[in-house]
Amino acid sequence: MHDATISQLAQKLKNRTISSKELTEYFLTRISRLDPSLNSFITVSQEEALAQAKAADARLASGDVTPLTGIPIAHKDIFCTKGVKTSCGSRILDNFVSPYDATAVAKLKAAGAVMLGKTNMDEFAMGSSNETSFYGPVHNPWDTDRVPGGSSGGSAAAVAARLVSGATGTDTGGSIRQPAALTGITGLKPTYGRISRYGMVAFASSLDQAGTLTRTAEDAALMLQIMAGADERDSTSLPESVPDFSRAQRSIWENITIGVPDNFFDDSLETQNAQLIREALSVFEKLGARIKDIHLEHIRLSVPAYYVVASAEASSNLSRFDGVRFGHRAKHFEDLAEFYMRTRGEGFGSEVKRRILTGTYVLSAGYYDAYYLQAQKVRQLISQDFARAFETVDLIAGPTTPTPAFRIGQKTDDPIQMYLNDIYTIGAPLAGLPALSIPCGFVKNLPVGLQLIGPHLSEEKLLKAGFYYQQETDWHNHVPPGYEA
Amino acid sequence: MLLNREDVEKLCLLSRLEITPEEMDDVSAKLSDIVNMVNQLQDAETSGVLPMAHPLDQSQRMRKDKVTETDNQEQYQQNAPLVERGLYLVPKVIE
């Protein structure tokens, strides 16, 4: 049962061969049995889940269903969930119970999805290994000594270990695609603005985008269908209408041209990873795709541009955590400045502090033009490179990460090494582009991901390419040892 | 190092963020590494390039100026560290 995809479970629920209550109880038991080895959940919302399952069963009986009705899912703990703790992986929000639902959460709730709980994540989504969480690191189900990636590491580990059928995530510099790659699942970061950011704790507002972590591209389409769309409450959500992703995905294959940037096959890419990416490209060639070499001139500057823009926006966004209206408050202080400084000093972990200080530095008087403005110009150049490439190719393909999952603790002492792990994923959010990571093989029993990047609003194309690839391959069906039963 | 102890102390005050004396050397060293890394941007030729304002070149949508939220004060204040008679309590801010 746990190995079924959302699409398969939806069929069983619709046929009434299983009830949402049975499914929910089954997965809750599985979480309590297996999650101690992973630490993928911060909160398991058993009571709410059972109530939602009961409501879903009533809907299923009445025939008023969506593909998500009765399906157990989990939300990254960055999404506000009414009446359920929303910590964002931080001590400063350890006592925060959200008074409202994020739009993405509300939409999935309205569709009848059952929320099993909130998944672990890097603190404020700042990290690539899930080691910066106040609640401890998440372990990769493929090797529990290794990281699952981050920042949506809890969602990725939970889906990979079959503790839940699908999960939400957010991607600012790679936080959906990188953990999806390192845990052998499918991760979709839609176009900037495709899904409302309302109720998503803000990290870097010009980059943050909600998305999905699922077993297959087929399931990603099902979740995106519900989550996408304009929202009055997020003025940056896109007004464009939402196409039928599942239908587009199943439409007849048309020969496309896939661009492969030489920059994505640099020294940091491990040989065996490179080999698997080339094999994945040959699968597309067999499907009839044309592979074309391309060059993205400014992509090498994406890591520095990202760390300026993201840190600057984070330093501004995180100023709201002041210990006055919600969240942690320091007990001992002399004056107002110390009240703020100690509250925030105690509430934030070291990576978050580093980003706030970096952001404050690049925004401070005399440095703004040299850093923030220059980074936004470089971002424009990176975006123009992509736009030029998409004049001759339909999609861009390459690795999601340079290496398979690394060991817990291996990179914690060197932030730069950690940042460079996002070298292939950072370009897409800088340009606001949608991107997908799909499993494409294993190196020493550790999963590797293929990344596909499309033009703005090309989720249909991306999901179709992912769907067809997964008809030809079975990498997405591999289960981590120890989590088969 | 690009950033010394004094620089970091100033940033901490601007950010209202306490760093313990024991953390200070490590923070200065790592921040210096990060600033060194982002300095790569200085070499990029960007004359005549417009800084990006929105990845899809969209402008901010306006909405009608009407009240949409109801009063949830009581519910919101359940998350507050200290409340009295519906007011958020803060330390004395006027000397």
Phi/psi class of residue B92: alpha, beta or left (left: φ > 0; alpha: ψ in -120 to 50)? beta
The string over A180-200, giving b where at least 16 C-beta atoms fall within 10 Å of a residue's C-beta and e elsewhere, is bbbbbbbbbbbbbbbbbbbbb
CB contact under 8 A, B16 and A322: yes
Q: How many domains does chain A divide into?
A: 1
| Chain A positions in Cβ-Cβ contact with residue B63 (cut-off 8 Å) | 232, 235
Shortest Cα distance, chain B CAs vs residue A305, angstroms: 7
Residues 3..62 of B with a Cβ closer than 8 Å to A: which?
3, 8, 11-20, 23, 27, 30-31, 33-35, 37-42, 44, 46, 49-56, 58, 60-61
Element of type H or E holding A443: strand A435-443
Q: Which domain holds residue A326?
A: 1-485
Q: CB-hemisphere CA count at 13 Å for A226?
A: 23
3-state secondary structure of A449: strand
Complex confidence, ipTM:
0.95
Select from A232, A325, A416 the Cβ nearest to the Cβ of B80.
A325
Select from B3, B20, B88 the Cβ nearest to the Cβ of A325.
B88
Please give the Cα distance from A229 to A206 (Å, whole number). 18
Residue whose tokens read 């005399």: A366
pTM value > 0.95? yes
CB contact under 8 A, B51 and A377: yes
Residues 29..48 of A with a Cβ closer than 8 Å to B: which?
none
**Which pLDDT tens digit goes with each residue over A329-372?**
999 999 999 999 999 999 999 999 999 999 999 999 889 999 99
CB contact under 8 A, A353 and B55: no
Chain A and chain B share a number of CB contacts under 8 A equal to 171
Q: Are A339 and A323 in contact (CB under 8 A)?
A: yes
The CATH number given to whatever domain includes residue A294 is 3.90.1300.10
Select from B8, B37, B76 the Cβ nearest to the Cβ of A304.
B37
Select from A326, A361, A415 the Cβ nearest to the Cβ of B30.
A415
Shortest Cα distance, chain B CAs vs residue A412, angstroms: 12
pLDDT by position in tens, chain A (length 485):
899 999 999 999 999 999 999 999 999 999 999 999 999 999 999 999 999 999 999 999 999 999 999 999 999 999 999 999 999 999 999 999 999 999 999 999 999 999 999 999 999 999 999 999 999 999 999 999 999 999 999 999 999 999 999 999 999 999 999 999 999 999 999 999 999 999 999 999 999 999 999 999 999 999 999 999 999 999 999 999 999 999 999 999 999 999 999 999 999 999 999 999 999 999 999 999 999 999 999 999 999 999 999 999 999 999 999 999 999 999 999 999 999 999 999 999 999 999 999 999 999 988 999 999 999 999 999 999 999 999 999 999 999 999 999 999 999 889 888 888 899 999 999 999 999 999 999 999 999 999 999 999 999 999 999 999 999 999 999 999 999 99
Please give the Cα distance from A191 to A210 (Å, whole number). 9
CB contact under 8 A, B41 and A305: yes
Residue positions of A annotated with a catalytic role:
76, 151, 175
Q: Which residue of A has its CA nearest to B79?
A: A326
Shortest Cα distance, chain A CAs vs residue B52, angstroms: 5
Q: Which residue of B has its CA nearest to A238?
A: B58
